[in-house]
Each structure stands twice: as structure tokens, then as C-alpha cells.
Structure 1
Amino acid sequence: MSDTPSPSNTAPTTDQTPAPAKLDPISRKGTPAHRTRSKREGAGRRQGMPVQAISLSVPASLAAQWKTYSQEVPRSLVDVMLDAVAATRPRLPVLLRAHQAALREKTRPVSDGTFMRTVPQPKRLDDPYVTMPLRLLATNVDVLDAMVHEMAAESRSQLVVVALAAWLADRRAEEQVYEEQLELEVPEDPFDRP
């Protein structure tokens, strides 16, 4: 008999399990984050196009319209946003100037006892702004940033809000005209034939 205990009778004193290998972000196929990524992001990575995460600040009512339209079409939120910006691009400078003028009208001069200061009025509580996180191809983010600079918008959010508001209003108007035309068209009654 030996004085040394057998390996099966003793508990290990140190954890000898090797540390899991660190995976790069592209090969983490089992994580929930991977499963929620859009097909565009996967295609973009496979083609060597980087994807960038951005956040936009949008009025809650516009965000709801955006999401609803995206589900009705069905298209991704990013595709709807890019469609809106592309479709309204020729008139975006005019729309942005009108939007910025409306924002300036909402400010009022206030005296602090010595100086007159322009103070923004409190935001309407019935339509607070919400954050919309999106993932776009980096080239599309660059194009949006160039448009912000070119059209003198205050931010990406302002550019997208103005474009989406105008574009979704156009879609609603088109749908209303279509519905009115359907109401005007009287179906042919088979009993009216001679």
C-alpha cells in the first residue's frame, strides 16, 4: 500500500479547465446579438463593407408612424428611412429651412433683468422625442453626414425627421387619394345589362 492517495479519491485543489478561446465578433454565431442582426449587416460584412451603429432622436408620433409603415410594407426601418431621404432629397433644403424657421418661432426672448435672452420654450409633453437605434452600412452613414453638411441641417436626426415626416405624409396622401378613387368607382351591376 502506498501513502499517496489515488487521484480518484481526492478533490482537485485548482480548477484545471482551460479558459474558453476568445472568439472574434464575426464568428460568434450562438449569441443572441448575432441572431438579431439584419441580413444586410451580414451581407455587408461578407462583402467587406463595415456596418455602423447610430442613434436618431425622433418625435414619438413620427417613430410610431415609421414603425407602422415599416411593418405594413414590409421593409426594415433602415430601408424606409433611406427611401424617405432619397425621395425627398430634391426638396430637403426647402423643407429643412421651413422646419428650422418653425423652431426659431418657438423661441421667445426673455429678460433676465439686464439682458434679453432667447430661451427655447419647453418641449410639448404630448410628443416627446425617442431614441431610434439603427445599424447602417458605414458608406450610408457617410452619405447622410455629407447631406447634413450640404443642406445645413443641425444634425442627422433633424435631416431624417424632416425627410420622414414629409415622405410619410406623401404616402398617407397617396393612400387617401387611392381610397377615394375606389369609392368613386361603382362596380358594374350584372342586372343593369340590356
Structure 2
Amino acid sequence: MGKNGLPDRWMDYSNCGSVIEGTRIVALKVPLKKVLLSKVMKKDWFSPEDAVADIPNLDFIIDLTFTTRYYDPSEFESRGVRHGKIATEGHVIPRGPVMRRFFDAMDAYLADKDKSGVVGVHCTHGVNRTGYMVCRYLISRLGFTPDAAIAAFNKARGHNVERANYLDDLKAAAWPNVPDAEPEPEAEPVDRC
């Protein structure tokens, strides 16, 4: 936890990027509940209410943080935005069931002909876990090359994926098309950026 109870380095990242070209996906940092935001200047606030106001046509949020302390999902749902939680450990390559849940959520939403809105994906900063999982989806499901996926994500988010292990894994693209066919790593869950 960083300064004033905010996530570490949360203030260093822009609230949200733009929709990734050729998709309906936007990356954002975690919106925070008002009790956490009360410790910063109003101009620096980014709450679920702000996310809905700032992202046109936002219809579905996928939360990749490994905690539930940042906001109540009902803050999105009460504004007509569906919320999905996929607890994803930071710093390590997500595999198996985590990737399967992400792909299933994205596939179901994007294939629904009645849904034409935008999917917002966030972890703590909307850069590393989010970047990895979104890029992997772009590569595996939408036919992007690894370099094109990374470039499109970085450009739209306005921040580059920073972690070498994520970038190396994306560039190698050595995983099967079915995410749950991968072995699940043996690691103790920790919420790290």
C-alpha cells in the first residue's frame, strides 16, 4: 500500500487510455472508493463513477486486482456497467484457469450481438497485468502479432508494459490457444503491481 492508503504508485499513471485500435477494449487503472480518494485532491480522483463518465460507452469492467479493497462492484453495476472479477496475482505470468476465465469473459461479451459497448480492463495501474492479458487476447483471439499487440496496447494506454517477464512471454507466444491447457504456477498469491 502506498501513500495515504492509495495503491503504491497509483498517482503516477493516467486514469485510462483510449480504446485499442481495432477493438472495443480500453485499459484503465483501478478506480478507488471515496474513502481512499478523500486523502487526495479532488482533481486527482478516479472512482467508478469517474470511469463511467470518462469512458464513452463503457459496458463491462474486468477487474484483475488480487484484492477487493479498492471499490465495491455495485458502484459500476448501479450505473449499468457489468462487473467481472478475475483475481490475478501480480508480477507473475498468469496461466491456466486465470487466462481461461479472462478469455471466456472477453469472448462472451464480444460475441454477444446485443452488446456493442466497450470493455474496460484494469489491474492496479492498468499496465502490466492488464497489458499482458489484453495483449495475449489480441494475439490469440484477434490475430495480432506480438509486436503489434504490444505497440497497440502501449499507444492506447499511454503507458508501456514495463515488466520484462510479461514482454518476453508475449513475444515468444509459445502458449497453446486453449489457456487452461497450461500448467498453473505454484506461487503464494500476493497483490503486486
TM-score range, shorter chain: under 0.3
| Higher helix proportion (structure 1 or 2) | 1
| Greater C-alpha radius of gyration | 1
| Higher strand proportion (structure 1 or 2) | 1
TM-score by length of 2: 0.23
